[in-house]
Amino acid sequence: MKKFYNLAPGPTEVPPELLLASAKPTIHHRTKEFSQLFKSVSSSLKSIFKTQNDVYILVSSGTGAMEMAVANVLSASDKAYVIDAGKFGERWGQICKTYGVDTYIEKLEWGSCYDVSMLENYLSKNPDCRAVFTQLSESASASTLPIKEIAQITAKYPDCVLVVDAVSGLLAQDIRMDEWGVDVLLSGSQKALMLPPGLAFISFSPKAERANERSNLPKFYFDYKKYKKNLEKDTSPFTMAVNMIYALQWSLHRIDEEGGVDTILEKTQKYAEAFRAGVQAIGLKLLSSCPVNGLTAVVVPEGIDGKKLKEEFYTRFGITIAGGQDKYAGKIIRVAHMGYFAPSDVILALSALEMLLFDMGYKLELGKGVATAERLLYKGC
Amino acid sequence: MKKFYNLAPGPTEVPPELLLASAKPTIHHRTKEFSQLFKSVSSSLKSIFKTQNDVYILVSSGTGAMEMAVANVLSASDKAYVIDAGKFGERWGQICKTYGVDTYIEKLEWGSCYDVSMLENYLSKNPDCRAVFTQLSESASASTLPIKEIAQITAKYPDCVLVVDAVSGLLAQDIRMDEWGVDVLLSGSQKALMLPPGLAFISFSPKAERANERSNLPKFYFDYKKYKKNLEKDTSPFTMAVNMIYALQWSLHRIDEEGGVDTILEKTQKYAEAFRAGVQAIGLKLLSSCPVNGLTAVVVPEGIDGKKLKEEFYTRFGITIAGGQDKYAGKIIRVAHMGYFAPSDVILALSALEMLLFDMGYKLELGKGVATAERLLYKGC
- Cite the DSSP H helix spans in chain A: 16-21, 32-49, 62-73, 87-98, 117-125, 147-154, 206-214, 224-231, 242-257, 261-281, 306-317, 343-359, 368-378
Q: Is the minimum CB–CB distance between A291 and chain B shorter than 8 Å?
A: no
Identify whether the C-beta of residue A12 lies closer than 8 Å to the C-beta of residue A339: yes
> Does B67 sit within 8 Å of A221, measured CB to CB?
yes
Q: Residue B372 falls within a domain, yes or no?
A: yes
What pLDDT score does B68 carry? 98
Contacts of B189 (CB under 8 A, 6+ apart): B195, B196, B197, B198, B199, B200, B201, B244, B247, B248
Domain boundary among A257, A274, A307: A257
Q: A96 CA to chain B: closest CA distance, Å? A: 10
Contacts of B294 (CB under 8 A, 6+ apart): B9, B137, B139, B142, B168, B169, B172, B173, B191, B192, B268, B272, B336, B337, B338
Q: Is the minimum CB–CB distance between A221 and chain B shorter than 8 Å?
A: yes
What pLDDT score does B19 carry? 97
CA distance B42 to B54: 8
Same domain, B342 and B280: yes
Q: Rounded mean pLDDT of B325-353?
A: 97
Same domain, B75 and B180: yes
Closest CA to B97 of A223, A240, A97, A228: A223
Number of domains in chain A: 2
Q: Is the minimum CB–CB distance between A3 and chain B shorter than 8 Å?
A: no
pTM of the model: 0.96
Q: Is the minimum CB–CB distance between A188 and chain B shorter than 8 Å?
A: yes
What pLDDT score does A274 carry? 97
Q: How many other CB atoms sit within 10 Å of the CB of residue A380?
A: 5
Same domain, B322 and B283: yes
Q: Residue B286 falls within a domain, yes or no?
A: yes
Question: Which one of A12, A28, A240 makes the best mutation probe of the B interface by having the most chain B beta carbons within 10 Å?
Answer: A28
Helix axes B206-214, B62-73, angle to 10 degrees: 70
Same domain, B283 and B342: yes
Q: Residue B2 falls within a domain, yes or no?
A: no
Same domain, B248 and B353: no
Q: How many other CB atoms sit within 10 Å of the CB of residue B325?
A: 18
What pLDDT score does B258 carry? 95
pLDDT tens per residue across span A162-199: 999 999 999 999 999 999 999 999 999 999 999 999 99
What pLDDT score does B380 carry? 58
Q: Rounded mean pLDDT of B182-210?
A: 98
Name the band, by pLDDT with cuts 50, 70 and 90, for residue B379. Answer: confident
**Mean pLDDT score of chain A, rounded to an integer?**
97
pLDDT above 60 (res B100): yes
Domain boundary among B257, B281, B310: B257
Name the band, by pLDDT with cuts 50, 70 and 90, for residue A34. Answer: very high
Q: Residue B4 falls within a domain, yes or no?
A: no
Q: Residue B324 falls within a domain, yes or no?
A: yes
Round to the nearest angstrom and report the end-to-end CA distance of chain A.
29
pLDDT tens per residue across span A72-111: 999 999 999 999 999 999 999 999 999 999 999 999 999 9
Q: Nearest CB to B239: which of A71, A197, A217?
A: A197
- The percentage of residues in chain A with a pLDDT greater than 70, rounded to a whole number, is 99
Q: Rounded mean pLDDT of B255-259?
A: 97
Which CATH number characterizes residue B268's domain? 3.90.1150.10
Same domain, A253 and A264: no
Strands B322-323 and B129-135: unpaired
3-state secondary structure of B82: strand
> Does B99 sit within 8 Å of A218, measured CB to CB?
yes
Q: Residue B47 falls within a domain, yes or no?
A: yes
- The percentage of residues in chain B with a pLDDT greater than 70, rounded to a whole number, is 99
Q: Is the minimum CB–CB distance between A72 and chain B shorter than 8 Å?
A: no
Q: Which class for A190: exposed (0-12), middle (13-18), buried (19 or more C-beta within 10 A)?
A: buried
- Which residues on chain A are in Cβ contact (under 8 Å) with B59? 59-61, 64, 197-198
Contacts of B379 (CB under 8 A, 6+ apart): none
pLDDT tens per residue across span B76-96: 999 999 999 999 999 999 999
Identify whether the C-beta of residue B330 lies closer than 8 Å to the C-beta of residue B311: no
pLDDT above 80 (res A380): no
pLDDT above 60 (res B182): yes
Residue of A nearest to B95 (CA): A220
Same domain, B289 and B350: yes
Same domain, B222 and B276: no
Q: What is the DSSP string of B112-155?
A: PPPPTHHHHHHHHH-TTEEEEEEESEETTTTEE--HHHHHHHHT
The DSSP call for residue A291 is: B
- Which residues on chain A are in Cβ contact (under 8 Å) with B220? 63, 67, 94-95, 98
pLDDT tens per residue across span A206-241: 999 999 999 999 999 999 999 999 999 999 999 999
Q: What is the 3-state secondary structure (H, E, C) of B328-355?
A: HCCCEEEEECCCCCCHHHHHHHHHHHHH
Q: A63 CA to chain B: closest CA distance, Å? A: 6
| Amino acid type, B303 | G
Residue of B nearest to A98 (CA): B218
Backbone angles phi, psi at B185, to 5 degrees: -125, 135
Beta bridge partners of A319: A5
Distances (CA, A) of A52 to A29, A48, A232, A256, B5: 25, 11, 14, 18, 38
What pLDDT score does B91 carry? 98
CA distance A177 to A183: 7
Q: Give the count of alpha carbons within 13 A of A352, CB side only.
A: 23
Residue of B nearest to A325 (CA): B30
Strands (E) across chain B are located at 5-6, 55-58, 79-84, 102-107, 129-135, 137-138, 143-144, 161-165, 184-188, 200-204, 285-286, 295-299, 319-320, 322-323, 332-336
- Which residues on chain A are in Cβ contact (under 8 Å) with B188? 239
What pLDDT score does A2 carry? 87
> Does B63 sit within 8 Å of A221, measured CB to CB?
yes
CA distance B363 to B370: 16
Same domain, B231 and B293: no
Which CATH number characterizes residue A36's domain? 3.40.640.10
Beta bridge partners of B274: none
What pLDDT score does B351 carry? 98
**Mean pLDDT score of chain B, rounded to an integer?**
97
Same domain, B373 and B325: yes
- Which residues on chain B are in Cβ contact (under 8 Å) with A229? none
Same domain, A233 and A274: no
Q: Residue B11 falls within a domain, yes or no?
A: no
Same domain, B271 and B181: no
Q: Residue B8 falls within a domain, yes or no?
A: no
CA distance B158 to B153: 11
The DSSP call for residue B291 is: B
Domain boundary among B226, B257, B288: B257
Range of the domain at B247: 16-257
Distances (CA, A) of B39 to A21, B46, B260: 28, 11, 19
